[in-house]
Structure 1
Amino acid sequence: GPDRPGLLLFAVHHLVVDGVSWRILLPDLASAWSRVAAGDEPELEPVGTSLRTWATRLVEEASDARRLEELPLWRAALTGPDPQLGARPLDKGRDVFGTARTLTLTLPPEVTGPLLTDVPAALHAQIKDVLLAAYTVAVASWRARRQPTQGNAVLVEMEGHGREPVVEGADLGRTVGWFTSSYPVRLNPGQLDWNDFWGGGRTVESALDAVRAQLAELPDGGIGYGMLRYLNERTRSELAALRTPQLGFNYLGRFAAGGTDAKAQDWSPPPGMAGLGGGGDAAMPMAHSLDLNAQTQDHPDGPRLVAAWAWPDGMFDESDVRGLADAWFRALTAMVDRAADRGAQPATSAP
């Protein structure tokens, strides 16, 4: 109507679009509309490398000797211990998306803000290192209450943006498609003084340092696993026969969630509509016993970390998942506290 703006529903199948693609599509839509509104023809920047070219080059890359050297790394990650977390093993015939239960929690701006800025700066880490270190500690703590003799190592399947610079000359800066990569990683924060960690003590830094170093050992952001698992005829059968991690983790990055600026509102999801998923076929098997998909949503009052947990019905009680979710937020808060303590120290004090 004349007094309320309408909404544009833009739905694209995940087969042809990923989270990074939206950062290309939405500015292009805004630019095109601005030119049309001014009576001009839309003019968009050219695409450097097509998805088809990228896929073809990945097949070639999968047989490179450098990729084959990664095989022991992925084999070791998937053959170590992975004690059962849920009430039963995952059943791909029974545990489908139609049975999924979900829990979504939000970390408030007063914690999310320093988490994204102060923590990486004070503790010399990337935000992905921080989120994963806290997640590993949370899982270890949560599991210790249920299985106290299992140690602190955690096997998790990670998702990455998949646009790693592994193909010489490729330019994916404006390429739309589903580039997402997934790979297993075994993370161990080491022996933990739990009271010290939850209190934001030095244990926070030792756990973060350990996980950050383990992530740094992954070649090219882990993209080689998918090549060896699916594109290399010599290795795909071996990797297919190994276990699938029970836990899945995906951090999607930062997204606008509506703002006070009218132009920003036009080409960003309106408040309450920036969903983390949906639209999956009810008969599609779930990939993990427990999945965490997280993203940062930028609101007028500050950023908020939104964590969406999903699991098959009957695998966990909701109270179990809530306990893990609360432990993750508690671990993230401990890191914020540690960064604040570091920031308050005199410049001459020891790290």
Structure 2
Amino acid sequence: EYIAPRNDEEKVVYKAFEEILNTDKISVKDSFFELGGDSIKAIRIISELRKMGYEATVKDIMNGKTVEKISFEIKTRTINTSCEQGEVVGKVDTTPIMKMFKEYNLKKPEHYNQSMMFTVDGIENHIIKQSIEEIVKHHDILRAVYKAGELEILSISESLLFDFYEFDYSKKSDKHKSVYEKCTEIQGSIDLVSGPIVKVAVFSLGETKQMMICIHHLAVDGISWRIIREDFEMLVEQIRSGNKPCLPEKTASFIEWSKKLKEYGDNISIKDKIYWEKVNDEIVEGKIIRQKSSGESGFSVVRFDREITEKLLTKCNNAFGAKIDEVLIAGLARAIGRITGQKKIALRNEGHGREEIHEHISIDRTVGWFTNIYSVIVDVSEDNAQSIVAAKDSLRGIPDNGMGYGFVNHSCMPDITFNYLGEFNSDQNEDIEYWSAGEDIANENIDDDIILVNGETNNGILLFEIKSNDAEFDRLFISRVAEEFKKAVAELAEYCSLIENNEVKTNSDLSDDTLDNEELEFLNSLID
């Protein structure tokens, strides 16, 4: 039943849903998750609400779920801007992910980037350049340099801001190869000590014009790219219209976040430390059983069709209120279990890191490398319900979504690192040519991940890359993981799509973590 927004607060939340979830005619009782919502989109909705003069938290969005319920949470909260709106300069406190970067001891630390290609047909180069300049001036972290293991943000006057290149490749015989090679060359030329750490290249290619932006990973992450894309599109429109460039208000600086995160790390509770010590002990049992190896490391791509992707994006919540990343991890655990026969799997999970800590800090429009990585142990099960519940409860039972993990010493690491980056919707459709932004990371750079499982949803297609950096897990093993992962995830997606919305509570839904699942089953039976 469609119910339109009935008051100002519902209209505000409705508008934010409509913008971020890319859909219209939303009923105030429609579920955020069934509309394709996740924690990353919740962060973007918070940003939209702020633009309209309201405030909310990720928890408000994720727990409220509907326009109707979320509107009650934002009702009395009007914005009181306390974030610095001027230039922010100075040294950044070392965060756990920055510490990890330093410990990688990369051969070419300067060539460890993230990048994105933009179609810029019909946009004059001077407008592109002016837009990028406004972005680098606004998002202070993009003016950072990295010296002696420390990240420091320079002033606008001290910083080189960004490098801008223009190429006419319209007459090149192999345009794709030429763009790839030039982008890789540019990506490898970042100077961490002197800067800039932002490089932009515009390629005139005849029928199209493409822009590559690369930024050193120390200053950017997946959510940051969504902010940068939105800002670029906004600035181009403003400049074209003859208006003064003006971006939305800043949220807290990355320097302020790093200080708050250090405070949090310095005050981790004894209970949390004991939790992570227990996880360390369990990792040994969850490490992958070694297989016979050909001595050749492996790489595979897993591509899910639109039907499976849609089910994962909109139906996961039907199964005990699960999220897409929980279902994906359940599928990965099942896949490994089918190959090795083990009953537990240890993973390093990459989270977006923009979590609530000891003190509230608004960072939904802050650019930077917020990623947090933490270990989790997941039970393997061939029963669909048990598999999803095991992954859900393991992940939600982690204190503060793993924010404390990087502040505790660890004696053992999982073999697999899992990272689901969320959903991206570019302006390009399937018929538009794909243009490579080159190699983000130098071939010589090998981090400590043994097996990497990285995925994202792009324009309605879920795609994972699985690769090993250890020859003990060879091409045949990685190929088998990819095959079983695709089967297992499809099975779980189908299960989620066929069951009615199951609101049965599981262990992680109750604040008393002393209850086990058998006791919960009994309590649920009483409610029924």
Q: What TM-score, normalized by structure 1, do the two folds share?
A: 0.77
Residue identity opposite 2:317 in structure 1: P
* Cα gap change, 1:2 to 1:280, in 2 (>3 Å): closer
Residue identity opposite 1:177 in structure 2: G
What 5-or-longer segments of structure 2 have no aligned partner? 1-203, 503-524
* Cα gap change, 1:3 to 1:53, in 2 (>3 Å): same
Are 1:175 and 2:366 counterparts? yes
SS, match of residue 244 in structure 1: coil
Give the total of aligned pairs: 298
Match of 2:388? 208
**Partners of 1:153 and 1:274 in 2: how far apart?**
38
Are 1:304 and 2:461 counterparts? yes
Match of 2:420? 251
Match of 1:330? 487
**Partners of 1:2 and 1:13 in 2: how far apart?**
26
Residue identity opposite 1:126 in structure 2: K
Match of 1:219? 399
Are 1:130 and 2:327 counterparts? yes
Are 1:288 and 2:449 counterparts? yes
Match of 1:279? 440
* Cα gap change, 1:343 to 1:259, in 2 (>3 Å): farther
**1:253-301 alpha-carbon deviations (Å, 9 max, x no partner):** 001244459xxx9xxxx653588x9422333333222110011111xxx
Are 1:316 and 2:513 counterparts? no
Match of 1:232? none
Structure number with higher relative contact order (C-alpha < 8 Å, ≥ 6 residues apart): 1
**Partners of 1:169 and 1:119 in 2: how far apart?**
29
In the TM superposition, residue 316 of structure 1 has moved relative to its aligned partner by 2.4
**1:237-259 alpha-carbon deviations (Å, 9 max, x no partner):** xx24x012111100000012444
Of residues 300, 304, 309, the one that matches 1:107 is: 304
% same residue: 24
The runs of at least 4 aligned residues of structure 1 exceeding 6 Å deviation read none
Of residues 151, 160, 168, the one that matches 2:351 is: 160
Of residues 245, 259, 281, the one that matches 1:79 is: 281
8 Å Cα contact 2:286/2:377 also seen in 1: no
Residue identity opposite 2:379 in structure 1: N
8 Å Cα contact 1:128/1:251 also seen in 2: yes
**Partners of 2:494 and 2:464 in 1: how far apart?**
20
SS, match of residue 413 in structure 2: coil
8 Å Cα contact 1:54/1:170 also seen in 2: yes
What is the RMSD of the two structures over their aligned residues, measured on CA atoms?
A: 3.0
SS, match of residue 327 in structure 1: helix
SS, match of residue 11 in structure 1: strand
Residue identity opposite 1:331 in structure 2: A
What 5-or-longer segments of structure 1 have no aligned partner? 90-94, 145-150, 198-202, 230-238
**Partners of 1:274 and 1:173 in 2: how far apart?**
29
Residue identity opposite 2:468 in structure 1: W
Match of 1:40? 243
Q: What TM-score, normalized by structure 2, do the two folds share?
A: 0.52
**Partners of 1:341 and 1:274 in 2: how far apart?**
38
8 Å Cα contact 1:87/1:314 also seen in 2: no
Match of 1:63? 266
**Partners of 1:104 and 1:315 in 2: how far apart?**
19
Residue identity opposite 2:263 in structure 1: E
In the TM superposition, residue 131 of structure 1 has moved relative to its aligned partner by 1.0
In the TM superposition, residue 2 of structure 1 has moved relative to its aligned partner by 9.8
8 Å Cα contact 2:287/2:415 also seen in 1: no
* Cα gap change, 1:252 to 1:83, in 2 (>3 Å): closer
**1:114-139 alpha-carbon deviations (Å, 9 max, x no partner):** 12112323542111111111111111
In the TM superposition, residue 327 of structure 1 has moved relative to its aligned partner by 1.0
8 Å Cα contact 1:120/1:130 also seen in 2: no
8 Å Cα contact 1:289/1:315 also seen in 2: no
8 Å Cα contact 2:416/2:451 also seen in 1: yes
**Partners of 1:344 and 1:69 in 2: how far apart?**
35
* Cα gap change, 1:182 to 1:274, in 2 (>3 Å): farther
Match of 1:234? none
